[in-house]
Structure 1
Amino acid sequence: MIKRLFDIFFSSFILITFSWLILISYIITSIQTKSNGIFVQQRIGQHGKSFSVLKLKSMYPKKEKVTSFGQIIRRYKIDELPQFLNVLFGQMSIVGPRPDIAGYYDLLEGEERKLLELKPGITSEASIKYKDEEYILSQHENPKLYNDTVIFPDKIKMNLDYYYKQSFILDVKIILKTIKNLIS
């Protein structure tokens, strides 16, 4: 209950404080991509249920190329600000495992399925550690294989650790660590 109230308060604060940045970014991404500046994708949420995650578009439609403005908003995670709406809607939390596409969290077995009890989050220890995941993957000959055999299992381990240790104090520490990471 405390976590949900905190999620509502914190996400409302972020959305109000950064509404100007979201609006300007939306306009620029809409112009640059010549499409709606909001990217909607199905992700796996709590209890394995699918939901629509919101992001600002950072890539040209139907191309595998990031826009010039997309590089900026990705670097500073501005593209993820609309996800605070997902938090308000109750689909996500501020802290929790990052929501993934189908074929990962929904296929977990055994103890690892405990992660599906958690709401996906905007930030986590794993998302902080792998903030440059795209770059890390680009350094490998087979990025999908590296993700599936190294990064994803490590994220599972870190997220299970969070599952067993979760508390309001831990959430605050992760949020502060995330803010420090974004600033530096």
Structure 2
Amino acid sequence: MYLRFGKRLMDLLLASLGLLLLWPLMLLVGLLVRIKLGSPVIFRQVRPGLEGKPFTLYKFRTMRDLHGSDGAPLPDRDRLTPFGVFLRSTSLDELPELFNVLKGEMSLVGPRPLLMEYLDLYTPEQMRRHQVRPGITGIAQVMGRNALPWEERFRLDVWYVDNLSLTLDLKILAMTVCKVIRREGISQEGQATVERFRGSGVSGGGSENG
């Protein structure tokens, strides 16, 4: 019952309340992004949603638009500014995702929406993380956020799918507040952001603007 009706109702109520209360802060953040990083203010990227169907994710921009002599974007560590690090560490960059929640593309709680290119790399078990709407926060985020290895993040995501409940969602939301205040697990060790997923049992360089 909660999965079919209650979860969506809670998303609508809390996302609407969040936008009503936070719009002055979002306006201020947007203005600062425009001044410090330029345009566009909103970072848009296609991500897989429920059942892997694509949708456009909205976040505040945290990186400069810098390219090398070959025309390719510079590494994240070169494009991520102190202001961008602050936005990520406080999760202020995630606030526009409340609009994704209102549109029904995301939930407040669920597995984080990753990159479309990862869909072909998942095992059948890992693919089960797409049986629910992706979330602004999730069990993997409160258990270690980006500092967790990929395999552990996916294991937690599937565990969430199998154990989803109102009590669990409320617990994750409460734990998320604590994590944000402490600014824990923002990135993996040695990475400016988070190491790119290369497939189960495979590691490699590069990172994603997640």
In which range does the TM-score fall when normalised by the shorter chain? 0.7 to 0.9
2:175 aligns to what? 177
Of residues 19, 24, 29, the one that matches 1:25 is 29
Q: Is the aligned partner of 1:67 residue 2:81? A: yes
| CA deviation after TM superposition for structure 1 residue 2, in Å | 0.5
Q: Which has the higher helix share?
A: 1
Of residues 56, 60, 72, the one that matches 2:60 is 56
> TM-score, normalized by length of structure 2?
0.75
Q: Deviations over 1:7-35 (max 9, x none)?
A: 00111111111111111110110111121
Q: Where in structure 2 are the equivalents of 1:55-134 lying within 5 Å?
A: 55-62=59-66, 63=74, 64=76, 65-105=79-119, 107-131=121-145, 133=146
Residue type of the partner of 1:167?
Answer: S
Query: Unaligned regions of 5+ residues in structure 2, if any?
Result: 67-73, 183-210
**Count of aligned pairs between the two proteins:** 168
Where 2:45 maps in the other structure, the secondary structure is strand
2:38 aligns to what? 34
Looking at structure 2, the residues matched to 96 and 27 of structure 1 have their Cα atoms a distance apart, in angstroms, of 29
Give the CA RMSD over aligned residues.
1.6
Q: Deviations over 1:65-120 (max 9, x none)?
A: 11232121111000000001100000000110000002224543323332211100
| Shift >4 Å, 4+ stretches | none
Q: Deviations over 1:153-177 (max 9, x none)?
A: 1111001111111001100000011
Of residues 2, 8, 20, the one that matches 2:6 is 2
Of residues 147, 157, 160, the one that matches 1:159 is 157
Query: Unaligned regions of 5+ residues in structure 1, if any?
Result: 137-149
Residue type of the partner of 2:168?
Answer: L
